Structure 1
Amino acid sequence: MSTLDVRESAGPPTISTRFALLLAVACGIAVANIYFAQPLLEEIGRDLGVGPAGLGFVTTVTQLGYLLGLLLIVPLGDLLNRRVLIPAGSVVAAVALVAVAGSPGPVTFFVASGVLGLATVVQQVIIAYSAVLSGPGSRGRVLGIVTSGVVIGILLARTVAGLLSDAFGWRSVYVVSALLMLGVAVVLGVRLPPERPGRPPVSYRRLITSVFTLTVHNRVFRVRSLITLFMFAGFGALWGSMALPLSAEPWHLSTSEVGLFGLVGAAGAIGAARAGALADRGRAQWVTGVTLTLFAVSWLPIAWLPHSLIPLLVGIVVIDFAGQAVHVTNQHLIVGVDPNSSSRLIGSNMAYYSVGFGGGAVAATATYSAWGWGAVCVLGAGFSVAALLVWAADRSIPRKPSTVD
């Protein structure tokens, strides 16, 4: 661990920008693993003999594994040594990736995909640890940088998968990612700082039930997690169904071409890292209100998809900028309740993300089949307005101090 990675000050140590960028890269590499399969479904199905009905289980199994990992593994960061937990999780993810790449049939593929989703939550353990290592005055900045890596990893996963698959076949995507995850394990095993002493002991049972106890007893967590739920339902509605109209009349775009839209979203996510710095200066509520409004308004240009791609590109940049800003602000406020409980706080909050994103994608796909893209945009805007209303209602009700129970 370099002395340049963590700067000591009069208060708690602060992560350097260079080290935060390293953690962001590690998070982006890890989270991409659960999104690689989406543009590869047709090729995977043809190779493994899985029909169209069974291909839907690919994403479902991986996301279920990810949700279980958020509930069962991420909270362990508050109990175990994260300097060991993070590299170990990265190695497990690498092994699962090799198993996916070498799958001789659908059963092995589905089991390995579930384990991969479970292990991929290592990136949430990294985010929680970055919050612990940051002082209150810089936590938003650090979370903004590290979380940007997650968003960029999600958005670019489809593009990278499409390009590698076109060149070397779908199995090459998982082989390359396995090598990258081994690299993450080695680098972070060397560079992560040792645990700080003094964390209060807590039982594993109490950790894994945190999502329920925090929702009931902690107002900051409850409000911010409801915002997460509705906001990522909007994200799921967009990214879970956008390929359908893009591949239909009048565009007829290929899988690789659709994946390139992730590059546009990544540009918006990079700019949103500024939101964390504003949250450090006490502007978290202002950032939330403004960016949730932008998130809802972005559906107007997105609705032009059947007629023009230029407004769609503008809408994607705005929605990803706004969504990333809200997400960073949410995590900044949630971790601020009790930084020593960062793993259970972030893991429990991300459980809302997982349910929201998956539910939004399923609802949007069904809506598109029944009523078309205009109805999908109404649905996405409805999710966005719901998130804005949760924030506005919370601002109008007097608050009491929140703690982790």
Structure 2
Amino acid sequence: MPHPTLPSSEPPLSAPGIRASVVLLFAVACGLAVGNVYYAQPLLDAMGQAFGMPAASVGGVVSLTQVGYGLGLLLLVPLGDLLNRRRLIVGQTLLSVVALLVVALAPSSTWLLLGMAGCGLLAVVTQVLVAYAANLAAPHERGRVVGMVTSGIVIGILLARTVSGSMADLAGWRSVYLLSAGLTLLMAVLLWRVLPKTEQKPAASHYGQLIRSMFSLFREEKVLRDRALLAMLIFAAGTVLWTPLVLPLSAPPLSLSHTEIGLFGLAGAAGALGAARAGAWADRGWAQWTSGLALALMLASWLPIAFTQSSLWALLVGVITFDLGLQAVHVTSQSLIYSLRPEAQSRLAAGYMVFYSIGSAGGSIASTTVYAWAGWTGVCLLGAAINGLALLYWLWSLAPQKQALCAS
């Protein structure tokens, strides 16, 4: 997986922070873990045929994976503030190996669905890793570290779809999960050897108290509330774009094949560059204005995206612009919330990402409904409206800060 090059004018990732090699390992581990959620998307037809699943129910493979991921955000990620993170991360990674083997060796659709739910549940180790990386990083490098690890997630999602399709053509869909199980086991060994053997002070006396404290964080931290709502809006806009995109591209006059359509997803690699750059800007104190510029870019991207049916070049420009903005907002948000309370970073990550999941689910449902009613133009208007609302909310969220500056 590529490792973004850092400009020589910036301070290196070094003590007392986190070594660059460790950041790279975090990024690779995150990319591999999040890939387990996305391998199935191009394999649904093959899975359905293997188990005689009707088209109406084969979609449950993806749905159960997402449900498992949502439950993991609520129930597993906060454990990073209670348990030893090294053991938690390695334990979740080993359990992911088990879930992947259940999928790969599934004798029936029931076992397949159980394995996929487990893959989604345990894939949230990515958020524990991001929070842990932010905790290990020195304050002056936290944004860059978060941006680089997030780049691994973006690249992992992109490669997962490409690799799974190619592997399935070569050796069948089960080979995808066997390969991932082997790589995940190797990653567990590397993480166990490399992660610091430090103990942290538990943030709560028991699990129930830990979960309840998440609601207190939302009540007490305005930055968390603001950034969680922005996450909900920008990822809703993201699924409004990506969920129905296959429909106008596969229909006349374009009539693209699934392989050709999939190539547009590679344009999302620009998001990895946006993530790394935005993190560095956040370290310089430009997080808020980076967010504003990125939100404006996302809003502007809907104009070329609206010309998809007449110009694929316009779509390409729009997708690159959109993903740059999306990842820039996401990374600056994480940089800001992880700076709030070092002892609560896993719970902050869980609370923030729950809103990401809500936005993604809502955008997916709304986009397909609007497409059926108003076509691609309606989808673009919906996406632009959501991005416009996000930009307005960002401006409104700055008001208290402006008042405080005036008072001082």
Counterparts of 1:169-318 in structure 2 under 5 Å? 169-198=172-201, 200-318=203-321
8 Å Cα contact 1:162-1:256 kept in structure 2: no
Aligned twin of 2:7: none
What is the alpha-carbon distance in structure 1 between the residues aligned to residue 188 and residue 204 of structure 2? 26
1:17 aligns with 2:20: yes
Paired letter, 1:30: A
Cα distance, 1:213 vs structure 2:
2.8
Unaligned regions of 5+ residues in structure 1, if any?
none
8 Å Cα contact 2:148-2:275 kept in structure 1: no
1:157 aligns with 2:160: yes
8 Å Cα contact 2:203-2:344 kept in structure 1: no
Paired letter, 1:24: A
Task: Give the alignment's TM-score, normalised by structure 1.
Answer: 0.92
Aligned twin of 2:400: 397
Query: Which residue, 353, 375, 378 being the options, matches 2:378?
Result: 375
Paired letter, 1:194: K
Cα distance, 1:42 vs structure 2:
1.8
1:107 aligns with 2:114: no
Residue 221 of structure 1 aligns to a residue in which SS? Answer: helix
8 Å Cα contact 2:140-2:283 kept in structure 1: yes
Cα distance, 1:354 vs structure 2:
1.1
8 Å Cα contact 2:84-2:200 kept in structure 1: no
Identical amino acids, percent of aligned pairs: 49
Cα distance, 1:215 vs structure 2:
2.6
**Cα offsets for 1:223-274 (capped at 9, x unmatched):** 0000000000011112222122222222333333322222211133224311
What is the alpha-carbon distance in structure 1 between the residues aligned to residue 246 and residue 399 of structure 2? 39
Aligned twin of 2:326: 323
Cα distance, 1:196 vs structure 2:
4.4
Aligned twin of 1:79: 82
- Coordinate RMSD, CA, aligned: 1.9
Paired letter, 1:331: Q
Number of residue equivalences: 393
Which range moved further: 264-273 or 382-391?
A: 264-273
Cα distance, 1:390 vs structure 2:
1.4
What is the alpha-carbon distance in structure 2 between the residues aligned to residue 202 and residue 319 of structure 1? 43
Paired letter, 2:19: S
8 Å Cα contact 1:294-1:318 kept in structure 2: yes
8 Å Cα contact 2:274-2:325 kept in structure 1: no
1:59 aligns with 2:59: no
Change (3 A) 1:60 1:144: same
Task: Give the alignment's TM-score, normalised by structure 2.
Answer: 0.92
What is the alpha-carbon distance in structure 1 between the residues aligned to residue 177 and residue 274 of structure 2? 29
Paired letter, 1:346: A
**Cα offsets for 1:185-209 (capped at 9, x unmatched):** 1111111112244454443113223
1:7 aligns with 2:14: yes
What is the alpha-carbon distance in structure 1 between the residues aligned to residue 69 and residue 235 of structure 2? 15
8 Å Cα contact 1:231-1:356 kept in structure 2: yes
**Cα offsets for 1:317-344 (capped at 9, x unmatched):** 1111111111110011101110221111
What is the alpha-carbon distance in structure 2 between the residues aligned to residue 327 and residue 382 of structure 1? 19
Aligned twin of 2:342: 339
What is the alpha-carbon distance in structure 2 between the residues aligned to residue 202 and residue 227 of structure 1? 32
8 Å Cα contact 2:236-2:363 kept in structure 1: yes
Paired letter, 1:90: T
Cα distance, 1:134 vs structure 2:
0.7
**Cα offsets for 1:40-65 (capped at 9, x unmatched):** 22222122111121122222111110
Aligned twin of 1:96: 99
Cα distance, 1:211 vs structure 2:
4.3
Change (3 A) 1:278 1:398: closer
What is the alpha-carbon distance in structure 2 between the residues aligned to residue 239 and residue 336 of structure 1? 31
Aligned twin of 1:138: 141
